[in-house]
Amino acid sequence: MGKTASGVVAVGVAASALLFTATTAAQSGAALFTSNCAGCHNNVKHPKGLVYNAAGNAAIIEAVNAKGMAAPGSSADFVSIATYLDGAKPTINMALVAHDSPGTRLNLGDIIVSAADLHADWKIITKIVTVSPPTKGTVTYQFANGFAVPSHVTYTPFPGQSGTDTWTYQGTGLLGNTTVRTASVSILNADGTPSTAPELSQHGLTGSWYEPATSGQGVEVEIFPAVGFAQVSWFTYDATAGGADRQRWLTLGGFVTPGQPTIALTIHRNTGGNFNAPPTTTAVTVGTATLRFDSCTSGQLDYSFSDGSNRSGSIPLTRLTQNVTCDPVIARPTNADFALSGNWFDPSTSGQGVTVELNPISGVLFFAWYTYAPNGGAAGAAGQRWFTGQGSYAAGARSIAYTLYETTGGVFDAPSTPPPANAVVGSGTLAFQDCDHASLDFTFTGGSSAGRAGTIPLVRVGPAPPGCTP
């Protein structure tokens, strides 16, 4: 108790000390700027915005001083001024850009390339260049526009784009470079409304999605931003209702290109496996699909089968649980619990696995387990089985008890009467050892795998997302 209390006190002191330091530094930076710089940089004598070239980088002030600017102040003062300028510099933040527009000109007030003949040799920054390009359009810069006239950037969206786009840029010259700056634009929808479509290449779209009208079936999505890939598992049923042998699952995969509004997927079917036992099975292509998200909580899966069934359709998707790290704008928050969400499997039984969602905001573990009947090997599609595991948990827990369910009675992408029934068929524990290793402990007391118990050593499919800390 005593230890905890003093720990809390120590943190409180450290936090207020930090706050105090930051405030004084900012105040003195602003005051020093007024007394040492603003008299010359006032848009009458010399351009005011030119000073932002030094934002976050005192070396630029030192460099112009070496040319003869003769700004008063110590090196420490210049660091304070550069820090103040960094917090005060005007940036382009979610500037609106019309859909399919020929180009929108935006003031780039945070870097000015001097066009003055007077002191032409004092120019430290002579160009503006892109560091990391935008993904939904192109940018061109116009600089050295005249006394105190800001630089411009023209943002031209690619056809059909909407939503947020960001890029970074920098002023460069022979004697120094500015810090790297970030700009963002919001490209409007074709009808002129602001777009809320999130960038698809983010792990935050990972999770459990379904259509409320066909509750009892759904998809598990995982986006791998590091490798530009989307993996989807689809838990559904045969065309007519029945028992566990009418359960069907499919896996879908495809590349995610940053800036693109949709993800093209190939639909696969695996058959010929046995519950938690060899052989490994191979995916057969049975169709194509397109996945899109128009917000962090809504999306759509369009599918078309090429397996002779001619099934095609469109499923509106909403989240089963709450959004944790998806962001429609540019922030990419991370969460150590949610980062464990995704695809896991045992390589010795490749062709079956679990897709996990660990959601600290909803306070739930949810997973879908795609596998086969104990002797499903010869049964074709009727040998497929899937289960869901659900448990409540406290944020930060790494060993979580769950209840196992087997859902039956549904119809492929359609509502059914009666609706699918969720039967409790067992329980177990899912424990995470680190970002890439977990174990699934299970005991079936009923359903199509009744009597089975065991522990499956799981490894993560693909790289762990940003923010995963075991």
Enumerate residues 6+ apart whose C-beta is below 8 A from 211. Answer: 218, 315, 316, 317, 318
Q: Which is nearer to ligand HEC, 60 or 430 (CB)?
A: 60
Q: Which is nearer to ligand HEC, 57 or 161 (CB)?
A: 57
Shortest gap between Cβ of 31 and ligand HEC (angstroms)? 12
Classify residue 394 as exposed, middle or buried by CB count within 10 Å of its CB (0-12, 13-18, 19+).
exposed
Q: Which is nearer to ligand HEC, 114 or 352 (CB)?
A: 114
φ, ψ of residue 294 in degrees (nearest 5): -95, -5
Classify residue 457 as exposed, middle or buried by CB count within 10 Å of its CB (0-12, 13-18, 19+).
middle
CA atoms within 13 A on the CB side of 105: 6
φ, ψ of residue 89 in degrees (nearest 5): -65, 140
Q: Which is nearer to ligand HEC, 51 or 263 (CB)?
A: 51
The answer to whether 450 and 423 have CB atoms below 8 angstroms apart is no
Q: Which is nearer to ligand HEC, 68 or 102 (CB)?
A: 68
Shortest gap between Cβ of 207 and ligand HEC (angstroms)? 47
Shortest gap between Cβ of 108 and ligand HEC (angstroms)? 14
Shortest gap between Cβ of 147 and ligand HEC (angstroms)? 7
Q: Which is nearer to ligand HEC, 73 or 157 (CB)?
A: 73
Shortest gap between Cβ of 109 and ligand HEC (angstroms)? 13
Residue with tokens 């499956």: 456
d(CA 174, CA 182) in angstroms, rounded, equals 22
**Cβ atoms within 10 A of the Cβ of 48, count?**
17
Classify residue 204 as exposed, middle or buried by CB count within 10 Å of its CB (0-12, 13-18, 19+).
buried
**Which residues of the shown chain bind ligand HEC in the complex (CB under 6 A)?**
36-37, 40-41, 46-47, 50-51, 53-54, 60-61, 64, 69-71, 73, 81, 114, 116, 119, 122-125
Grouping H, G, I as helix, E, B as strand and the rest as coil, residue 29 is helix
Shortest gap between Cβ of 61 and ligand HEC (angstroms)? 5
Q: Which is nearer to ligand HEC, 171 or 273 (CB)?
A: 171
d(CA 384, CA 159) in angstroms, rounded, equals 43
Shortest gap between Cβ of 106 and ligand HEC (angstroms)? 20
Shortest gap between Cβ of 127 and ligand HEC (angstroms)? 11
Residue-by-residue DSSP string for 57-105: -HHHHHHHHHHT------HHHHHHHHHHHHHH-----SEEE-TT-S-EE
Q: Give how far Cα 47 sits from Cα of 109, 171, 436, Å.
A: 11, 16, 55
Q: Which is nearer to ligand HEC, 46 or 136 (CB)?
A: 46
CA atoms within 13 A on the CB side of 367: 30
Shortest gap between Cβ of 173 and ligand HEC (angstroms)? 7
Q: Which is nearer to ligand HEC, 84 or 210 (CB)?
A: 84
Helices (H), 312-387: none
Shortest gap between Cβ of 181 and ligand HEC (angstroms)? 14
d(CA 262, CA 251) in angstroms, rounded, equals 18
Q: Which is nearer to ligand HEC, 71 or 296 (CB)?
A: 71
The answer to whether 298 and 316 have CB atoms below 8 angstroms apart is yes
